[in-house]
């Protein structure tokens, strides 16, 4: 008997095991455990794919932010050089100096804003790794331990006569 439920926004098939006889066949139990483990690994794989896509999207936005920041830095440098040049002239036009200074201040504000947004994107990427990827790694460790236990159980059941077909 199976039912579709939602775990972490992902449809998942929940399998119910019927009550078994006291002399349950160990092969059937191992097979069911193996099937449940395989389903769990599929869920982990889907979650990892979604996390990777999310990180790639954040990284793309971060790279675009870095490009914009570099563009602002180049503009800041150009305006700063223009301002220095105008200051060095003895007969500098006061209106040009004020305009250059205002443009420099506007660029500095834009630069600071972009730096804050880039920092937020970095924090989002860290959050995805800590909140979504770290638990997946723990689940994989559990699957590994369960798998080792299953191998031990199979070896104790069949001895060294294991042959995969």
**pLDDT tens per residue across all 165 residues of the chain:** 455 655 566 665 555 454 444 445 666 776 777 777 777 777 777 877 888 888 889 889 999 999 999 999 999 998 888 888 887 877 767 888 888 889 889 989 999 999 999 999 989 888 887 887 778 778 778 877 877 777 777 777 666 555 544
Q: How many other CB atoms are there within 10 angstroms of residue 125's CB atom? A: 18
Residue 134 exposure: Cα atoms within 13 Å on the Cβ side: 7
**Chain centroid to CA 103:** 38
**Chain centroid to CA 66:** 19
Residue spans of alpha helices (H) in the chain? 26-88, 94-127, 134-158
Tokens standing for residue 91:
């007969």
Residue 133 CB-density burial (10 A; 0-12 exposed, 13-18 middle, 19+ buried): middle
The residue behind tokens 């834009």 is 110
Measured distance CA(124)–CA(99) in Å, rounded: 38
Q: Which helix (H) or strand (E) holds 90?
A: none
Residue 82: name the closest of 72, 70, 94, 97 by CA: 97
């Amino acid at each position: 008997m199976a039912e579709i439920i939602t775990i972490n926004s992902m449809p998942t098939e929940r399998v119910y095991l019927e009550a078994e006889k006291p002399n349950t066949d160990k092969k059937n139990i191992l097979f069911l455990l193996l099937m449940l483990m395989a389903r769990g690994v599929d869920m982990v794989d889907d979650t990892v794919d979604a996390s990777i896509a999310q990180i790639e999207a954040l990284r793309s936005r971060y790279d675009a932010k870095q490009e914009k920041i570099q563009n602002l830095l180049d503009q800041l440098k150009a305006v700063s050089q223009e301002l220095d040049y105008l200051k060095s002239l003895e007969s500098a036009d006061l209106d040009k100096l004020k305009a250059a200074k205002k443009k420099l201040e506007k660029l500095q504000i834009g630069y600071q804003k972009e730096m804050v947004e880039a920092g937020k994107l970095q924090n989002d990427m860290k959050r995805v790794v800590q909140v979504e990827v770290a638990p997946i790694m723990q689940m994989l460790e559990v699957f590994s331990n369960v798998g080792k236990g299953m191998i031990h159980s199979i070896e104790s059941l069949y001895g060294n006569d294991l042959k995969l077909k």
